[in-house]
Amino acid sequence: MPSHVIANDESENILGVVPLYLKSHSYGEFVFDHSWAYAYYSFGSRYYPKFQCCVPFTPVTGPRILIRNTSFKDQVFDIIVSALKDLTAKSQVSSLHITFPSETEWEKLKDKGFLQRIGMQYHWKNRNYKCFDEFLMDMKQSKRKNIRQERKKISAQNLTMKRLRGYEIKASHWDSFYKFYRNTTANKWGSPYLTGDFFHEMGSKMGDQVLLVVAEEGDEVVAGALNLIGGDTLFGRLWGCHPQVHYPSLHFEACYYQAIEAAIELNLSTVEAGAQGEHKIQRGYVPVTTYSCHYLMDEGFRKAIEDFLERESCQVRLVMKLLNDSGPFKEGIH
């Protein structure tokens, strides 16, 4: 349930906005607290409802407490955070969670009584490459060979890859992609919270910010990967393929290699391929830290979760170091 917070001055000018939701579950967040909910339940306490400050269903780092650029913006930030904490207490909910904030916000909120949590995603960085082969030359020989072999499998299966933007994406493409999306959620026991109309609406309203990668076998579209373009970044979001058919290496081609080629072609600095998937590393995507902040009302649970987060953070940092030390790139390339 939307519970957005707005800060006005005396003249009703908006000085700050916080996207805030009252939630009775933890789905679609990409920062996992189900074990916390179970711990509350085990002790006869209630974890839901809770507040979450976020962009729904979107694991992308960015500012969450949006403040007008004025000479007193730091004071506005402090006032908004105090209001959020007061709202959490008055609403008698268990907690307030701010997911995927900027690192600056994450640091500031530590001093406001929020617990700090880190996570990990895999991003591809553009080192001013002119073409895909130039990117491959930065990789270790074994990784380079593997990628070339995977890409050869696409043409060997008589598949044609296309990158479509704006008016190039037809209604029939969205109809096909919706079927692929439903197939993916069914295979992963997911919940298909996006509707067919959503994709048509997004395509018509966002124009060239939408990049749809499709794979065709003859005249038939058999798979697709949805990407969004914002700022200097390409965001990989959803993938799906035709039910009952398996095309080796097509997922890697549609989601990772086509995204890299598009970023090079459009001169974008980053591809964010989303959460999870260590298989992304050998394909040129490296670990990047993500952030979240958690304000818990119950002191006992707060201490227990704080201890857990300290241990978890040590593990995440260790895994990131190991992954970076054994990364796919030649020595000296970071």
Contacts of 162 (CB under 8 A, 6+ apart): 213, 214, 215, 216
Cβ(271)–Cβ(259) below 8 Å: yes
Beta-sheet strand order (sheet of 66-67): 5-8, 14-18, 66-67
* Alpha helices, H only, 161-297: 171-187, 196-206, 250-252, 258-266
pLDDT given for residue 189 in this prediction: 66
Tens digits of per-residue pLDDT, 298-330? 999 999 999 999 999 999 999 999 998 889 999
pLDDT given for residue 59 in this prediction: 94
Full set of structural domains in the chain with CATH: 5-122+287-326 (3.40.630), 127-268 (3.40.630.30)
Average pLDDT per consecutive 10 residues, the chain (334 residues; last block may be shorter):
96 97 94 96 97 94 97 97 98 98 98 97 96 97 97 97 97 97 83 92 96 96 97 95 91 97 98 84 94 98 97 97 92 80
Cβ(92)–Cβ(298) below 8 Å: no
Evaluate if pTM is beyond 0.75: yes
Q: Apex CA 34: angle with CA 316 and CA 280, to 5°?
A: 40
Question: Closest by alpha carbon to 26, among 2, 50, 5, 46?
Answer: 50
Contacts of 273 (CB under 8 A, 6+ apart): 121, 122, 123, 124, 236, 255, 256, 259, 280, 285
Cβ(231)–Cβ(181) below 8 Å: no
Question: Closest by alpha carbon to 96, among 51, 56, 54, 65?
Answer: 51
Tens digits of per-residue pLDDT, 199-242? 999 999 999 999 999 999 999 999 999 999 999 999 999 999 99
Side chain identity, residue 154: I
Half-sphere exposure of 272 (CA within 13 A, CB side): 21
Half-sphere exposure of 117 (CA within 13 A, CB side): 22
Contacts of 13 (CB under 8 A, 6+ apart): 68
